Amino acid sequence: MNSHSIRETAAVALSLLDLTNLKDDCTEAQIDALCARAQTPFGNSAAICIWPHFVAYARNILGTGHVVRIATVVNFPSGEMEVADVAAETREAIADGADEIDLVIPYRKFITGDEKAVTDMVRAIRAECTGPVLLKVIIETGELKDAALIRRASELAIEAGADFIKTSTGKVAVNATLEAADIMIRSIRESGRKVGFKPAGGIGSVADAALYLSLAETIMTPDWPMPSTFRFGASGLLDDILAVLSGAQPASVAASSY
């Protein structure tokens, strides 16, 4: 994995970035800024990820068919809404212009042994995500904690039709970890399906990103990470990416393991 320069890693990370603002006090002005920041002199992020009530506003800014996709969250962050309510939330978000839906599974029910709750939720939202709309399923690995639970939640999400499986909401104490990523990516490989992976929460540097990319390349193939199969969910990562790409941060500051 040492064949990549830190600048190459930064450029790849930019192309895979879901630039996120899910702050409780997010404003329209911050959405304006997010849409602008997603379009950099070095290329665009893959998507922005925002609250559902900002989707129409962001779509108005970006217009239709924009290269920067609009992702939003449903059943977020608690995972405790009723299926019908999440389906309605999803329909409204897609009507407002969302390209991608990041769905939180009912992870507390799953922890108690209710696998059907997961399957029912994912299948119902999968049915709403027609055409090109991507479904990313958040399994909240930091709350599941147990490796066997993380593996099983990944398998259930994949079997029920997830386009991506995602580690975390970013709203709990433990978010993305390399240990959880290893389990999830291996679950994808073993499924034999074209499913993507999205680590989210706590990834703030190109050095962090390099570790996840290296892991994905090791488990899958060197050319596997691309926007259709790999995303980073992050709010602070872009600053470090731009620092590396602009030359403001010397390569020696960032990890060279990737």
Catalytic (active-site) positions: 102, 166, 198
Which single residue is written with the structure tokens 């991506």?
164
- Count CA within 13 A, CB hemisphere, residue 205: 11
Report the candidate in 172, 173, 204, 168 with the shortest Cα–Cα distance to residue 184: 168
Strand partners, 200: 233
Q: Vertex 4, ends 202 and 141: CA angle to 5°?
A: 25
Residues 228, 11: Cα–Cα separation, whole Å: 16
First to last CA, the chain: 5
Instruction: Tell me the one-letter amino acid at 203.
Output: I
Secondary structure percentages of the chain, helix, strand, coil, to 5: 45, 15, 35
Six-digit token string for 62: 């970006």
